[in-house]
Amino acid sequence: MLKWALIFFLISLAAGYFGFYRASAATGTIAKVLFALFLIGAVIVVIIALMTASFVF
pLDDT, one tens digit per residue, over 9-28 is 888 888 777 767 766 677 77
Count of domains observed in the chain: 1
Which amino acid would we find at residue 18?
Answer: F
**DSSP character at residue 21:** I
Averaged confidence pLDDT in the chain: 78
Residue 45 has pLDDT above 80, yes or no: yes
Ramachandran area for residue 44 (φ above 0: left; ψ -120 to 50: alpha; else beta): alpha
> What percentage of residues in the chain have a pLDDT greater than 70?
79
- The number of CA neighbours under 13 Å toward the Cβ of 38 is 18
What domain range includes position 36?
2-56
34 pLDDT band, cuts 50/70/90, is confident
